[in-house]
Structures are given as C-alpha cells and as structure tokens.
Amino acid sequence: MRLPSYTTPFAAVVCLQLAAAGVVCAEVSDASIGVIDEILVVGARMPRPADNVVGKVDVITHADLMDEMAASLSDITRYTPGISVTTADSRFGETEITIRGLSGNRVASLIDGVPIPDQFDVGSFSNAGQDFLVADAISRVEILRGPASTLFGNDALGGVFAIVTRDPQEYLNGRNAHVGGSATWSGRDDSTTLNGSFAAGGRIGTGTADGVVHVSRKDGHEIDRSAVDEPDQQDRTRKSVFLKSGYTRENGHRIRLEGSVFDENVQTDMVSVLGTGRQFRNTTGLTGDDERRRYAVTLGYDFDVASPWLDGGRLNLYWQDVSVEQNTVDLREPIATLNERQFRYDTRTIGAMIDLESGFTTRRAEHRIAWGGSFETSDVEEIRDGRSTDLSTGISSNWLLGEAMPVRDFPNSTVEEFAVYVHDEISFGRLTLIPGLRYQSYDLDAQVDAVFSEDNPGTVVVDKNESSLAPKFGALWRFNSASEAYFQYAHGFRAPPFEDLNIGFNLPLFGYRAIPNPDLEPETSDGIEIGYRYRGSRMQWSLAAFGADYDDLIETKVNLGLDESGTLIFQSRNIDHARVYGAEFTFGYSFDEWVPGLTLDAAGSITRGDNRTTDEPLNTVDPAELITALTWAPGDRWRLGMIITAVAAKDRVDESVPGQVTTDGYAILDLTASWQISTNIRLDAGLFNAFDKTYWQWSSVRNRTENDPMFNYLSAPGRYGSVALRVDL
C-alpha cells in the first residue's frame, strides 16, 4: 500500500500509539536532565558540553549500539532521520553516507580522527567503499550535520561522521584488568560475530599505563532481501584487531599509541544480472572475490599547561594504508568466452594535526579559543587488469571489451592538504558569540605513466592547486540552565576531486566513454541553521531549521549523450546553483512518575533539495522520516521496547532522466529486549521489520531506472531476528 506523499501527521499518530524502543539520538536518549553534561568533540574539535555546541549533532553511544543491536553502517544510522547509507549493489554493499541530501564524498568520515579515504567506483566491477566498521569496538559516533569546512576541511561540505573507538578505561571501568567477549547472531545476513577484549592498567614509575586489545571476527552471507526469493549468494568474512594504549605522566600529560588492522573478504555469485541488458546479455556466470584492508597507526600526545596564552592541546601523527582488490570471473557460454578482471585501489596517507586551546577574560567577556592546524599527504593508485580466454581454442588475450589491459582510470595522484583554523567562543553572560575561520590549501599532483597514456592517448591531464577561506559564525542565547537558542552561518569549500578532473574510462565494445573535465570549479556553500533545545527533568525537545545554497556542485559522470562517432559520453560537470533546506526535531518524555522506567522518544526530518539551474529536484535528498520509540526499563536488569520507522514516498525526482524509479512510503516495526542476567552477563534480542514489510530505502535505489535488474535485489531486509550474549569479567 502506498503511503501519502507526506506521511508525518499520519505517522505521528500511529507511532505515538504504537511507539518504539531504543535510543533515537543522544538528545532524546536519556530522560534525565543529566544529558546536558554530555561532552562532544565535533562541534569545536575540542571537548565541549553538548549544550554549548551550536548546530545539530547526533551522538550514538556504545550503549545505544548494544540496545539497537547494530552490526552494520546502516544499523548505526537506522534511527537518525535525515542520515542514510548508500548501497551500491548486492556485491559491494554499503559504500557512503548521506547527510541532509549531501553525499558523494562530501561527508568527512573519520575513525579516531583519521580521515577514511574517499569512495570510488567505475563500471560494474569495481567499487572502493568506506565501510570499515566494527560495532563492538565503538565508543561513540558523533554526527555533525551541515557544512563543517571551518573545522574539518575539504571533505566536510555536507557534515562529519566521526567514529571513536573504545579507550582502555572504558573496558577497565576503575579496575586493573578486564577480560570480555560477545557472540552475536543476526538473521539479516545469517551472520555470526565474535568479539574478544583484554585490558589492563596500573602504575609504572610516577605515572599510570593502560591498554586494550580488541579482536573481532564476523562470518556472514547475503542480506535477506524482502523482494527476492533467490538472492545473489554471498560469503563474507571480516576480521579486525584494535590496539589502544597510553601512559599518563604525573603532570597529567598523556602519550598515546593506537593501531588497527581491518581485513574483509567477500565472495559473491551474481545471478541477478545474468542475461540482462547489453553488458550481461551473454553472461551465464558472474562471480566476485573482493578484499578490503585497512592498516592505521596513530601516535598522540595530550597535555595541559599553565600559560597565559595556552591551556592545553593534543597532537596526533598518523599513518594509514587502505587497499581494495576486487576480482571478477565472467563466463559467457553462448560465445565461448571467459573474462577475468582485476581491480586494485590503494590509498596511503601520512598526516599530522595539532589542536590547541586557550582562554582568557576581558572586562566584558570570556574567551575560549580552539586553534590549530593540520597537514596530510595521500598517494592514490588505481589499476584495472584482466584477460579474455576463448574457450573453444584456449587462447588468452589482454583485450577485454575493447580495452587493452592493464589500464588506469585516472593517473596516479598525490594530494597534499594544509590547513590552519581558529574558533573563538566569546561569552557575554547569557550570550555566546562563536566566530571561526579556516585557511586551507589543496594541491593535486597527477603523475602520468605509460599505462594511463596508452589507454588515454591525447588526454589532457591537469594538476590542481586550490586554496580557500572558510568562515563561520554562531550565536547562542541561554534562556536558563535548561534551554538555549542558537543561530549559525557556515561557509563550505570542496576542491574538485582527482577522479573527476582526470578520469579516463573507455569501453568501445559497449559504446560509452567517461572523459575528464579539467575546467571543474571548486564546490562552495553558504548555509544557515536556527535551533532551539530544551532539557527538563521529564521532557526534552529540540527543533532545527536549516538551509544551504551550493555553487558549482559537482555531478559525477553526467550523461552528455552521443558524440559524432555514436559513443555515449559521460563527464563530471558543475551545477551552477543548488539549494537544500528543511527541518529536524527531537522529543523525549519520561513517564517515570506514573510508570517507572517508561520513556517516549521521537525524531523526525524533512528535507528538500533543488537544482536551481535546471529546476529539477536533487535525487540525493532522502524522503521525510519520523521515528518514535517507547522504552520500558523498570530496573537495571530488564529493558523492553518498540520502534516504528515511518518514511514518506519519494516521487519527487529529477525528470530530465526518463524512467527513474520512485519509492512508496512505508512504516515498519522493530522490537528489542535486554536482560542483565548477572553483573557480568547480558543477553540482547531483537525482531526487526516485525510485519515482514517489503520496501525500498531511497538511498539504495536512487538514480536507478524502472527496468534496472538490480532493483528487487536492493530491497530492504524482510523480517529477521538477532540475539547477542555479552560477558564482562
């Protein structure tokens, strides 16, 4: 049944009647006024109380992830309206995050402060995503919505998605040693996840040392899609190790060493595309063997000083190596051909950042200044290789679909970024003014080699050097200790990515080609946000209205039509003007006075986006969404709850591309429960999509056409259960 195109009023009544469980977001997850003591980092790059932050920030804690039984990137954002995760297809899975209608590497994604490399894809056989998630090792996720270039630079045009892994003290909890583990089964993908952790701490010399090792392994299969009876078969193994250690000196200064290893292997049998379209018309078997690895090391130093110009700060030096290798075997029995393809994408990064804090008082105001700088250099390499074998003769060739392998789709590139920033909080009693400014330079050096030149003869390759000033200004007015209103203006900046500037992708056999655009201009934005927050002993609520104008927004690989030779040409282009605007709210109420432990939470988002050059909608904008939750936790041992997610239909799409798919509205019910069996043992269980609703999330199918064979294979999971057992000794 199709829901009305705007479902919020209807859904509000239904949801408030049926309600739901778990934590919707940090601002409504706790029914007590103590939530104002929550400390955030993304709002100022240095720790700040939540009620001092200007702008909408969602915080998802480790406790939230346990209650919600989150096991994937989309699970983390499942109950945060206005934020979604893009699904590439049934093979490559979840690839990137969308915040307020902005995606395409416009959201800065961080793990312990280290930026995750951009997502990149080309053709049907290669996709380097950003999902390096190990949910059990996460301490918190902080999501800053809207332009954040002043604090986080080039990749934060649409917002920030910051993952912080658990520190040793979170495991120790005041003890000298910890041993723990968990086992989780999820019917979403018939997966089993095992986690183990060991932490220890104590005095060494005049200081204290602590450390933790967290290991994880996940074995799973394909997602149980609600619209598919015979899904693409998949086997997935994900392994990881996190190490975090530190030494705190007698003066409070702390030296940190952090390291992580992530390795995932996925094998897929792609039955969904067999015999379809021009590309797979003769394909009778298609299998993928994909591996992603991430290695990261950070050396950090935190310090406090008693100086007239400096109170303290932190220094981070980091190294990261992310590699993706994807192998495809394509059997075409009608023409007796076996095609074997290999795709490799590697990013090696070295960076340093320093964040400092100063404070001083004048006759009329108190200043709290966050300032610092960063430098990062990244080497990016990509190559595709392969061979084609004639099964009737056994002869192999490096010619594959009209290309002479190996090929590069862009030249090897080095990107250097340098930035300095300052962020001042000036308090005049109830009023706080927050100006900020960032200077950033972006330097792209493209290195053409014989592999790229041979496949792209005559292609003009460009280097790029861009710099920008990104100002912001905020104002916060405290009505009292429980409420405040805020206003924020922020300017965003994003340099043209190397793959859009210098891409060279040519498939003569299928008659299409992607060409570079050396004339791309940087993307810029000007956004405002107005909000109000209230935190009472029983009720909390917040409301935010936002809008942002974007100039020269880059559309990746736009269909330009046929050239004189009949080849279909794709090229990245600037959209002269675009606008995104909308509103978000949260609400929480405690019925503890009448029913101990009973709370009601709700959160909603409605966003609209327009290409103001063509007067067409922006397809990246998600439909309106409302989530309501009813949780009953009468004591420390039990928690029961229900969550209803109601999403509007998405029928406002860019009609300049004919036949684009739309999605119906839907409402689904999730049930969760927890039982603290003893002090050291906890059992969680959940039933998701309880009524087995068949539906599609817009972020998974946007920009696809109605006859796309992948459409049903991108439907959301049907009804499934999960169970987890946790032991903490």
Which residues face 589 on adjacent strands? 539, 600
Rounded CA-CA distance 654/634 in Å is 49
Rounded CA-CA distance 643/651 in Å is 25
**What average pLDDT does the chain have?**
89
- One-letter amino acid for residue 556 of the chain: T
**pLDDT tens, residue by residue, 123-141:** 777 888 777 888 899 999 9
- What is the mean pLDDT of the segment spanning 662-678? 97
- Say which residue, 28 or 245, is predicted with more confidence: 245
Rounded CA-CA distance 516/85 in Å is 28
- Whether the pLDDT of residue 2 is over 60: the answer is no
- Pairing status of strand 159-165 against strand 107-111: parallel
Q: What is the dihedral of CA 563, 568, 571, 573, to 10 degrees?
A: 80
In the structure, what pLDDT confidence band is assigned to residue 430 with cuts at 50, 70 and 90? very high
Q: What letter does residue 225 receive in the DSSP assignment?
A: B
In the structure, what pLDDT confidence band is assigned to residue 15 with cuts at 50, 70 and 90? very low
Range of weakest confidence among 37-46, 166-175, 549-558:
37-46
Q: Is the pTM of this model over 0.85?
A: yes
Place of tokens 């969760």: 672
**pLDDT tens, residue by residue, 563-578:** 777 788 888 889 889 9
Rounded CA-CA distance 442/418 in Å is 7
Pick the CATH number of 25-165+206-592+604-611 from 3.30.1490.20, 2.40.170.20, 3.40.50.2300, 3.30.2290.10: 2.40.170.20
The pLDDT of residue 340 is 95
The pLDDT of residue 37 is 54
In the structure, what pLDDT confidence band is assigned to residue 259 with cuts at 50, 70 and 90? very high
How many of the other CB atoms lie within 10 Å of CB of 491?
A: 21
CB 271 within 8 A of CB 233: yes
The pLDDT of residue 561 is 80
Range of weakest confidence among 337-351, 587-601, 695-709:
695-709
CB 223 within 8 A of CB 231: yes
Q: Which of 49, 162, 152, 79 is nearest to 423 (CA)?
A: 152
Q: What is the dihedral of CA 644, 649, 654, 659, to 10 degrees?
A: 120
- Whether the pLDDT of residue 456 is over 90: the answer is no
- What is the mean pLDDT of the segment spanning 9-20? 33
Q: Which two tokens stand for residue 307?
A: 């100086």
**pLDDT tens, residue by residue, 286-305:** 999 999 999 999 999 999 98
- Say which residue, 554 or 26, is predicted with more confidence: 554
- Whether the pLDDT of residue 27 is over 50: the answer is no
**pLDDT tens, residue by residue, 88-137:** 888 888 888 999 999 888 999 999 989 998 888 877 778 887 778 888 99
Rounded CA-CA distance 387/389 in Å is 7
The pLDDT of residue 708 is 83
Q: What is the largest CA-CA distance in the chain?
A: 89
Q: How far apart are the first and last CA of the chain?
A: 49
**pLDDT tens, residue by residue, 617-647:** 999 999 999 999 999 999 889 999 999 999 9
Q: What percent of the chain has pLDDT over 90?
A: 69
- One-letter amino acid for residue 406 of the chain: P
